[in-house]
Amino acid sequence: MDTEHPAPAAEHPAPAAEHPAPAVEHVETRVVHTPVVHPAGSRPLSVPIYQGHLFAFDSADDMAAAFDGPQGAFFYSRLGNPTVRAFEDAVAELEGGAGALAAASGMGAINAVLMSLLRSGDHVIAQSCVYGGTFALLKDLTERWGIEVTYVTGEDPAEVRAALRPETRMLYLETIANPTTQVADLPALIAEVRDAADVRTVVDNTFATPLLCRPIEHGADIVVHSATKFLGGHSDIVGGVAVFADSAVHRRVWDHATELGATADPFAAWLAIRGLATVALRVTRQNETALELSRRLSGHRAVTRVNYPGLPEHPQHDVAQRLLGGRGGGVLSFELAGGREAGRTFIEAVRLASLTPSLGDVKTLVMHPASTSHRQLDAEALAAAGIGEGTVRMAVGIEHADDLWSDIEQALAKLG
């Protein structure tokens, strides 16, 4: 066992020989300088939680070097922490990136990326189906920072070509959109900006996870995730991460992120690492169950339409076959014949599934946007957002498919 203690032990032989540490004689000092144990002869099997946020140096040069970017030595946890780094490195490896930056939330990661790479006068092309928080941020950037945004459906690469301007600096896409489950044809869309100078593509890969799709392999420059969802997987953390194909871009976003301060907490990072250990098992199970439930829902008389990329009738089924390795994700949505009233009755009638937002949990979660998150919108405004009055979103958990189906059937039976 290796211990660090100021005195009388000589843990640092060289400096100590020249500058012997003064003897510590008082309990008041000893209790402050509790020895720090560095295991020697064995190593921890799981990543330790480095809750302490300061790291000390033996030389001024070593400390000065630590200020030099996201891969430098640790010194203050807003700028880097070993537990957080372990999570970043794990996600960077999963996504095939050069490096990653963890954040306090998915929005923290998205904000750090947008605010560090865009300036007034820049133009962004974004999918109209982007996550609500991202949409609000883009609106803010337009109104207060003079960044212009052109929205495209993302269904046709020609829209991106038509929207491209000399000032375009970013193409912002989501692999699988909410709640429509629209799948973006990433290679085709990204190809439209490949020859344009200085246009970076950002892909929100939260719904797909790197198990289904690795956007960097399809030309994306940056991948963002809400780790709150599938990566964490247990609805016990809020977290985010951005992965970079290029380390210079990583550095630029890190510079801003350390100013923004939406830093990941070591304990949240530790829970996210624990979540990662089972993400492949969870995602496989969720995908299988979501496909099975989609098939059963398609045959139910109370349901007029099921949106799930794994179904042959899904508009981007072919894209999903190619891009998502034939899988469809853990989220499906369906339209109830009874409209708004039926949607509300259904979400209040389920017993196993929980009425709550979010997705990617081990438990199955349901939402009816028209009576909850989007209740202010009339049918027309809902349709513009790709949502029907009777649209129910289901984020499938890892329960047994038959138990979930029993719950869905009894809730559908209440619709009359």
Ligand X SMILES: *Cc1c(COP(=O)(O)O)cnc(C)c1O
Q: Which is nearer to ligand X, 107 or 283 (CB)?
A: 107
Contact with ligand X (CB under 6 A): which of 75, 87, 131, 172?
131
Q: Residues 274, 181, 365, 370: is their CA dihedral positive or negative? A: positive
Distances 306 to 142, 201, 231, 281, 297 between C-alpha atoms, Å: 35, 30, 26, 25, 7
Which residue stretch of 58-66, 99-107, 286-294, 303-311 sits at the interface with ligand X (rule: CB under 6 A)? Answer: 99-107
Q: Would you call 150 helix, strand, or coil by DSSP? A: strand
Which residue stretch of 24-32, 42-50, 145-153, 203-211 sits at the interface with ligand X (rule: CB under 6 A)? Answer: 203-211
Which residue stretch of 25-33, 101-109, 242-250, 314-322 sits at the interface with ligand X (rule: CB under 6 A)? Answer: 101-109
Which residues in 163-202 contact ligand X (CB under 6 A)?
Answer: 174
Site membership for ligand X, residue 204 (CB under 6 A): yes
Q: Residues 122, 128, 133, 134: is their CA dihedral positive or negative? A: negative
Contact with ligand X (CB under 6 A): which of 238, 245, 271, 396?
238
Q: Find out whether 333 and 307 touch, Cβ atoms under 8 Å.
A: yes
Answer yes or no: 198 catalytic.
no
CB of 228 to ligand X, least distance (A): 4
Which residue stretch of 37-45, 204-212, 249-257, 312-320 sits at the interface with ligand X (rule: CB under 6 A)? Answer: 204-212
Which residue of the chain is nearest ligand X when measured via CB? 106
CB of 393 to ligand X, least distance (A): 11
Site membership for ligand X, residue 105 (CB under 6 A): yes
Site membership for ligand X, residue 240 (CB under 6 A): yes
C-alpha to C-alpha distance for 262 and 306, rounded to whole angstroms: 38
DSSP 214: -
Q: Residues 303, 306, 312, 316: is their CA dihedral positive or negative? A: positive
Site membership for ligand X, residue 96 (CB under 6 A): no
- Per-position b or e across 214-245, b if 16+ CB within 10 A of its CB: bbbebbbbbbbbbbbbbbbbebebbbbbbbbb
Site membership for ligand X, residue 226 (CB under 6 A): yes
Q: Find out whether 109 and 241 touch, Cβ atoms under 8 Å.
A: yes
CB of 57 to ligand X, least distance (A): 34
Distances 231 to 105, 208, 210, 225, 328 between C-alpha atoms, Å: 12, 10, 9, 8, 17
Q: Which residues are catalytically annotated? A: 78, 131, 204, 229
Rule CB under 6 A: which residues touch ligand X? 105-107, 131, 133, 174, 204, 206-207, 226, 228-229, 238, 240
